[in-house]
Structure 1
Amino acid sequence: MIRMLDGMPAGVLGIEAVGKLTAEDYTGTLAPALDAAIKESGKVRIVIVFRGEFEGMEPGAAWQDLKMGVRDWNAWERIALVTDHAWMKDGLRLFAWAVPGEARAFGLADQEAAVIWAAGIGGGPAA
């Protein structure tokens, strides 16, 4: 499931991935939020939080994730990955060249710094 996070600065979407992600999570929850952000500012700045209870993605969700990354490629400005899963952080470092915009990994303890970085307000410690 994808949950939208409250309290984000203007221009920043915050989401938390919980359990197993489905195609409906993307088409019903994330896509409308992304479309609204692009319509409003032409850019996407997003904070994506993965906690211990993340269980992966169904095949349809992986397809929707790929489609969203490619669609509106130039709109993706900053992606802050917030997790303590080392494999996710390592994967981002390895494949950052294939991610639209800037991407940076942060630990769960640094979620506030990730939000600040995504908003373009300042730096923050990367994990």
Structure 2
Amino acid sequence: MLQYINDLPPHVVGIRATGEVTKDDMEKVLIPRIDELVARQGEINYLLVPQTDVGNFTLSAWWDDLKLGLKNFTKWNKIAVVTDQKGVEWFSDVFRFFVPGKSKGFALNELDEAVAWISAKE
């Protein structure tokens, strides 16, 4: 399930993932919020807190995620991933070499630091 993270600045989309994440979650929660952000400001600042194993994302959810990433390839400004899953955090740090924006992984106990980083305008 995907849920919005509230109390973030209007230039940031924050999403928490728990349990199973499906295509329906992508289409009803993430994609509309990202589309609205791009329409409003032309760039994406994205905070993701996956509190579920990446294996709990259905194949169709991964497919929608890939399409969303490619559709907005030049719009990604900053991506922060907050998790204690070392593989996901490492992937987030490596991802910065493949997208035009900045990407950074944070541990769960660094959530406040991640929010400050993703919220800071440069």
Q: Match for residue 91 of structure 1?
A: 91
% identical equivalent positions: 29
Identify unmatched segments of 5+ residues in structure 2.
none
- TM-score, normalization by structure 1: 0.87
Alpha carbons of 1:16 and 1:100: their partners in 2 closer, same or farther (altered >3 Å)? farther
Q: What is the CA distance between 1:100 and its match in structure 2?
A: 4.5
Identify unmatched segments of 5+ residues in structure 1.
123-127
Alpha carbons of 1:40 and 1:95: their partners in 2 closer, same or farther (altered >3 Å)? closer
Q: Is the 8 A contact 2:79 2:118 kept in 1?
A: yes
Report the structure, 1 or 2, having the larger strand content: 1
Number of residues of Structure 1 aligned to a counterpart in Structure 2 = 121
- TM-score, normalization by structure 2: 0.90
CA RMSD in angstroms comes to 1.6
Q: Is the 8 A contact 1:80 1:106 kept in 2?
A: yes
Deviations, residues 72-110 of structure 1 (Å, cap 9, x unaligned) = 211110000000111111222344322451100011111
Distance of 2:57 and 2:100 partners within structure 1: 20
- Aligned AA for 1:5? I
Secondary structure at the residue paired with 2:14? strand
